[in-house]
Amino acid sequence: MCQGPRLRLLFTPGEIDRAIAGLAAQIDRDYGGEQPLLVGILKGAFVFLADLMRRLSIPVEVDFVRVASYGPGMESSGQIRLVQRLSTPVRGRHVLLVEDIVDTGLSLSFLVDYLGRKRPASLRLCALLDKPERRVVPVTIHYLGLTVPDKFLVGYGLDWDERYRNLPGIYVVEGD
Ligand code: 5GP
Ligand code: MG
C-alpha cells in the first residue's frame, strides 16, 4: 500500500467558495467596464482561477505563465525561472495575476517585474492564500482570500510532489 502523510483539514470547500465569492465581488466592482486579462500562475493556481472566473460577471480573458521555484518535496530552491511565457500581448491591458498562495513572495515579485516591463495599463495581484510569516520580499496583494499559518498545505491545486492537487479542501501536511 502507498502510505501518505497525515493531512489535517484547514478549509472546507464551502469556506474556499465563500472566500472566492468575496474576491469576485471586489474584482467585478473594481474592473467594471473593463475586460481584464487574468494570468494564472501554473500549476497551482489553475483550480482557483477556474472557480474565480466562473464567479465573475465582467468579461475576462485568461492566460497562464509558469515559474519554477519549488523542487520536489517541501523546500523552495529560492531560484525563480520562467518556464512558460504568456501567449497574449499585455501592453495596455489590465492584468490581474492570479496565484494560489504567496509564501516568500519571490515568484510574485519576479512576475510583477517581468509583466510590469511589458507596460500593462494596470497590474494587480489576486491570491487565494497568504502565508505572511514566510515573506522574504514584500508584495502587495490587492485581492486576498485567506491568511494561513506557516505550515505546508496541499489540496485545491496545491501539491506535494505533484500529489493532492485534486483534493477539494485545503489541508495541512502533518509530517510523515
Ligand atoms: P513564493 O515564491 O511566494 O515563495 O512561492 C509561491 C509558490 O510556492 C506557490 O505558488 C506554490 O506553488 C508554492 N508554495 C508555497 N507555499 C506552499 C504550500 O504550503 N504548499 C504547496 N503545495 N505549495 C506552496
Ligand atoms: Mg504557485
pLDDT in tens, 33-65: 999 999 999 999 999 999 999 999 999 999 999
Residue 126's pLDDT is 98
Distance 167 CA to ligand 1 centre (A): 16
- The CATH classification number of 10-70+78-152 equals 3.40.50.2020
Task: Identify which ligand lies nearest to the alpha carbon of 101.
Answer: 1
* Nearest CA among 117, 125, 156, 157 for reference residue 36: 125
* Nearest CA among 156, 161, 163 for reference residue 171: 156
Task: Identify which ligand lies nearest to the alpha carbon of 42.
Answer: 2
Q: How far apart are CA 14 and CA 20, in angstroms?
A: 10
Q: In this predicted model, what pLDDT tens digit does every residue of 73-130 receive, in sequence order?
A: 555 556 788 999 999 999 999 999 999 999 999 999 999 999 999 999 999 999 999 9
Residue 2's pLDDT is 65
**Which residue carries 501567449 as its cell?**
87
Amino acid, res. 103: D
> 147: which 3 cell numbers?
491568511
Amino acid, res. 98: V
Distance 24 CA to ligand 1 centre (A): 22
Q: Return the CA Rg of the chain.
A: 16
C-alpha distances (whole Å) from 173 to each of 6, 93, 110, 167 are 6, 39, 27, 13
